[in-house]
Structure 1
Amino acid sequence: MADSWVNSAERIGADLHLELSGPGGRRAALTRALREAVRSGRLAPGTRLPPYRSLAADLGLARNTVADAYAELVAEGWLTARQGSGTRVAERARLLRDTPRVPRTSPPRARGPLHDLRQGTPDASAFPRTAWVASYRRAVQRAPREVFGPGDPAGRVELRQALTEYLARARGVRTDPDRVVVCSGFAHALRLLFAPGTGVLRGPLAVEAYGLDFHRELLKAAGVRTVPLPLDEEGARVAELGRERAVLLTPAHQFPTGGPLHAARRAAVVDWARARGGVIIEDDYDGEFRYDRKPVGALQGLDPEQVIHIGSVSKSLTPALRLGWMVLPERYVDGVLAAKGEREGWAGALEQLALADFLACGSYDRHVRRMRQHYRGRRDRLVAALAAHAPHVEVTGIAAGLHAVLRLPPGTERSTVKAARWQGIALDGLAAFRHPATDMPARDGLVVGYATPSEHAYGAALDALCGVLPPP
């Protein structure tokens, strides 16, 4: 028998796919199909089924066939039938549905770590739900009709205007809305800039000797060769730039080692870009979070025509929103939009409008200020715990961002990471971020994300961390 669709308005006003097949005739096939629809959750407990006359008409079956199927499922406990209430999926079906029919053949899902100290994610419990919902509600209520059609590849003008004003005020970025392109985050921005065949940017690309392996692999997949720049206490050694036409930097807070790019080197790399006709890609991934002083302004402010400034809300709000931005020199705007395509498919228009409202009404500023204090407190607790229990382990880099690097005695990183895993602690060793082609001497260290654990779990995570650190 062929598959059938039930579309009776007397049911729940929605289509239901029933596969009427298998042995035993039509009644047995219908009984199996309805039972499976309940068991799989497609028919939820309490759902009213259509009268058997309507269902029979929809499926081309005899009325008695449907009535008998209903009666069998009532007897089995899948359905209930009451005078005046019709036939409904039984509440008890929830328990029946959840009871496995066969023994498990696959292993249970692995549990997460006991203590999550991985870098890269903010405190999920601190997301400003109430303020965000208010902004989202206003955005939907005020949204013009065209919002619900195909999107502009540049992104909603409301968000580009709000970002222009915010970035100028908070990060010293100089631009206008026509040079802002909305994307889904830094990785998406890299894909657009180096998309094969678009000609926006080409390699080789100079990168810092320590950085995200994910970004290097993304560039490699696009056919881009990366050339590592050594690092020291003043940041990337930009004087060693060679014949590259572009360089990727994290100048406000080097990732992951934690130092800022020295002022003289900021000026020097801009001069290099001017002389070479090149461009600097500025990853401003956590520029708002500086704790020992006011945040340093963006490198882009020194020369907007030589710097591509990229930011997102993944550290300040949540990576779940998938919203970021590129502030582009004028000569790259058309190429990036061509790479992005005619229809925006990466960042939802309603989320863009909500973020525009969130910025314009001041909620974003208030949230960042609150989280700046929150994360400063987290970092201070980490430093205090080390001072008390492992004073020989130094926290390196500036007081900023959502992670810290702990310098370990030479030769102890691998064993410490292994010990941490045995104790259920998720974190990364510094070696995981080292460019494979660099000749810079290796450093032993741990990259500890102090933003990730919830507040109630953070103390236990620090205790566990201190317990696995090597002796002096």
Structure 2
Amino acid sequence: MLRHDGDVPLHRQIETSIREAIRAGRLPRGSSLPPSRALAADLGVSRGVVVEAYQQLTAEGYLASQSGGYTRVAAGPAPPAAALRQERAPRPAIDLSYGRADVSSFPRAAWLRSIRAALADAPNEVFGYLSGRGVPQLRTAMAEYLNRVRGTVADPEQMVICTGYAQGVTLLMGVLAARGAKRLALEDPSSNDDALPAARAAGLDVVGIPVDGDGIRVDALRDSGADAVILTPSHQWPTGSVLSARNRAAVIRWAAERGAVIVEDDYDAEYRYDRTPVGSVQGLAPERVVYAGSASKTLAPGLRLGWFVLPAHLTEPMAAAKIAADRGSAALEQMALADFVTRGEFDRHLRRMRPVYRRRRDVLLAALARHLPRLEPDGVSAGLHLVTWLPPHLDEAAVVAAARRAGVGLDAVGPYRISNPGPGGLIFGYATVSERAIAEGVATLARVISEL
């Protein structure tokens, strides 16, 4: 309840109320706030009072606003799992949302051979208690693969095997905080499901740095006061931009001058279609870059295997954190993946899937050009998704909600913004959808948009 006769200005009272609701979890991250005009009418104040409160909370990183769109919660705990299940049920008939590889194409026969080989050939000691780094066979196999394919300078002795990227980045945030880091920079927009809550749980301040066609804005990064930055330089998520050679050099110079750490999330770089593969940033400055990869987009997320290539000074702390977390990842699966990579099955699977994903992407692009030519696709040369930017008069949240009611699932860019507003956009995932369903989904989306 606002006190109109109190000493605290009205906009400060509104700020305090919203801030406390976010911190307490009553307003979970990603939830939308009422339009300023509607909230002002409900509270009996002028719209300018609410706008001032929203602007202050946006500057603090609690809210994110979009011109002509909506204001959402950008900080605090994520919605509870039950609420997420309720929001996502029922599953849309045509699901073009992002986040999944086509697990129906998982190479079961080849994986079974690797499991059998692991059981037959693994030395006895790998079934005992291991070091936090992971089994040496997998670290060696992955280092050789990454050095050959991704241009890294990976030393098996400076790798830690984790149960996927989520665990690895959580451990790393704790390590960096323990070594004195105070602030983490994230690309804005970026995937904020793992790193952002992990950083805040570790006590790190988080700041969003805008991206453009050349990747992260290095001038803004220099002004941020960050001690570490997480990048997706080969295929920025979700915009699809590639960190330019000039910006790569600038980021490395920034890290060297500040003594900062660059975390390179190389989440889907193996899938490139229309341009020469982009090498890793880690290969340019292995003493400054933590390289992170996983099996989630290349094989299947259910394998729960990821790998972190670390500078020497972070390897032992990261391995110790892994041991403290779970005593190490399962040895049999590590040995199986080592065999799978060494025998060339990993390369064969990627060669088999690239044309499949490319055909689906091409169908999506053709359908967008035919039915929705006003939408501008971006980030189309690689990965398992693309983004389209919306005209100013279309609200992304309204489009996503109307599409879901029509049986088509897709994602908006807005929920992945941290503190910097930008144009509305839609994220299309095409990896798990048939070509026919993609064309049908875009046609349905076009009808939905025409009705808005």
TM-score, reference length from structure 1: 0.73
Deviation at 1:343, TM superposition (A): 7.9
1:420 to 399, 403, 413: 403
C-alpha separation between the residues in 1 aligned to 2:180 and 2:370? 49
Q: 1:351 to 1:245 in 2, by over 3 A?
A: same
Asked whether 1:181 is paired with 2:154, we answer no
C-alpha separation between the residues in 2 aligned to 1:124 and 1:456? 19
Structure 1 residues 332-363: Cα deviation after superposition (integer angstroms, max 9, x where no partner)? 01111121226854531111111111110001
Deviation at 1:196, TM superposition (A): 7.1
Letter paired with 2:219? A
Contact 2:385 2:427 survives alignment (8 Å) = yes
Q: 1:470 to 1:170 in 2, by over 3 A?
A: farther
Contact 2:162 2:306 survives alignment (8 Å) = yes
Letter paired with 2:413? L
Deviation at 1:221, TM superposition (A): 2.2
Q: 1:396 to 1:169 in 2, by over 3 A?
A: same
1:149 to 109, 128, 131: 128
Contact 2:363 2:438 survives alignment (8 Å) = no
2:231 to 233, 242, 249: 249
Deviation at 1:419, TM superposition (A): 0.8
Asked whether 1:165 is paired with 2:144, we answer yes
Structure 1 residues 107-141: Cα deviation after superposition (integer angstroms, max 9, x where no partner)? 9x954221111111101211111111111111111
After TM superposition, the structure 1 = structure 2 runs for residues 139-288 of structure 1, keeping only pairs within 5 Å, are: 139-195=118-174, 199-200=178-179, 202-215=181-194, 216-240=196-220, 241-242=222-223, 243-288=225-270
Question: Which piece of structure 1 moves more, 339-348 or 164-173?
Answer: 339-348
C-alpha separation between the residues in 1 aligned to 2:198 and 2:358? 32
Deviation at 1:148, TM superposition (A): 2.3
Contact 1:199 1:335 survives alignment (8 Å) = no
Contact 1:193 1:200 survives alignment (8 Å) = no
C-alpha separation between the residues in 2 aligned to 1:159 and 1:392? 47
C-alpha separation between the residues in 1 aligned to 2:312 and 2:130? 21
Deviation at 1:446, TM superposition (A): 0.4
C-alpha separation between the residues in 2 aligned to 1:448 and 1:337? 37
Deviation at 1:454, TM superposition (A): 4.8
C-alpha separation between the residues in 2 aligned to 1:296 and 1:197? 27
After TM superposition, the structure 1 = structure 2 runs for residues 12-411 of structure 1, keeping only pairs within 5 Å, are: 111-195=90-174, 199-200=178-179, 202-215=181-194, 216-240=196-220, 241-242=222-223, 243-341=225-323, 344-345=326-327, 347-411=329-393
Question: Which piece of structure 1 moves more, 251-260 or 402-411?
Answer: 402-411
Deviation at 1:197, TM superposition (A): 9.2
TM-score, reference length from structure 2: 0.76
Letter paired with 2:315? V
- Aligned to 1:227, what secondary structure does the other structure show? strand
Higher relative contact order (CA 8 A, sep 6+): 2
2:417 to 412, 424, 434: 434
Contact 2:131 2:319 survives alignment (8 Å) = no
Contact 1:206 1:228 survives alignment (8 Å) = yes
C-alpha separation between the residues in 1 aligned to 2:435 and 2:411? 21
Deviation at 1:254, TM superposition (A): 0.6
Structure 1 residues 366-410: Cα deviation after superposition (integer angstroms, max 9, x where no partner)? 111121111111111100011111111121124110011011111
Equivalent in the alignment of 2:432:
452
Contact 1:284 1:310 survives alignment (8 Å) = yes
Structure 1 residues 254-284: Cα deviation after superposition (integer angstroms, max 9, x where no partner)? 1011101111000110111111111101010
Question: Which piece of structure 1 moves more, 354-363 or 182-191?
Answer: 182-191
C-alpha separation between the residues in 2 aligned to 1:292 and 1:333? 36
Deviation at 1:463, TM superposition (A): 3.6
Contact 1:408 1:445 survives alignment (8 Å) = yes
Contact 2:227 2:258 survives alignment (8 Å) = yes
C-alpha separation between the residues in 2 aligned to 1:385 and 1:402? 17
Deviation at 1:287, TM superposition (A): 1.0
Deviation at 1:459, TM superposition (A): 4.2
- Aligned to 2:207, what secondary structure does the other structure show? strand
Report percent identity of matched pairs: 47
Q: 1:343 to 1:146 in 2, by over 3 A?
A: farther
Contact 1:153 1:344 survives alignment (8 Å) = no
Deviation at 1:421, TM superposition (A): 1.3
1:443 to 408, 414, 423: 423
Question: Which piece of structure 1 moves more, 148-157 or 179-188?
Answer: 148-157
C-alpha separation between the residues in 1 aligned to 2:102 and 2:296? 11
Q: 1:430 to 1:173 in 2, by over 3 A?
A: same
C-alpha separation between the residues in 2 aligned to 1:461 and 1:144? 51
Letter paired with 2:214? E
Q: 1:343 to 1:244 in 2, by over 3 A?
A: closer
- Could you list the runs of 5+ residues in structure 1 that have no partner in the other structure? 1-106
Deviation at 1:244, TM superposition (A): 1.6
C-alpha separation between the residues in 2 aligned to 1:197 and 1:385? 45
Letter paired with 2:403? A
Deviation at 1:146, TM superposition (A): 2.0
Structure 1 residues 13-36: Cα deviation after superposition (integer angstroms, max 9, x where no partner)? xxxxxxxxxxxxxxxxxxxxxxxx
Contact 2:173 2:198 survives alignment (8 Å) = no
Report the RMSD for the aligned CA atoms in angstroms.
2.2
Q: 1:161 to 1:371 in 2, by over 3 A?
A: same
Contact 1:155 1:344 survives alignment (8 Å) = no
Q: 1:418 to 1:264 in 2, by over 3 A?
A: same
C-alpha separation between the residues in 2 aligned to 1:197 and 1:365? 34
Contact 1:313 1:321 survives alignment (8 Å) = yes
Q: How many residues align?
A: 362
Contact 2:97 2:429 survives alignment (8 Å) = yes
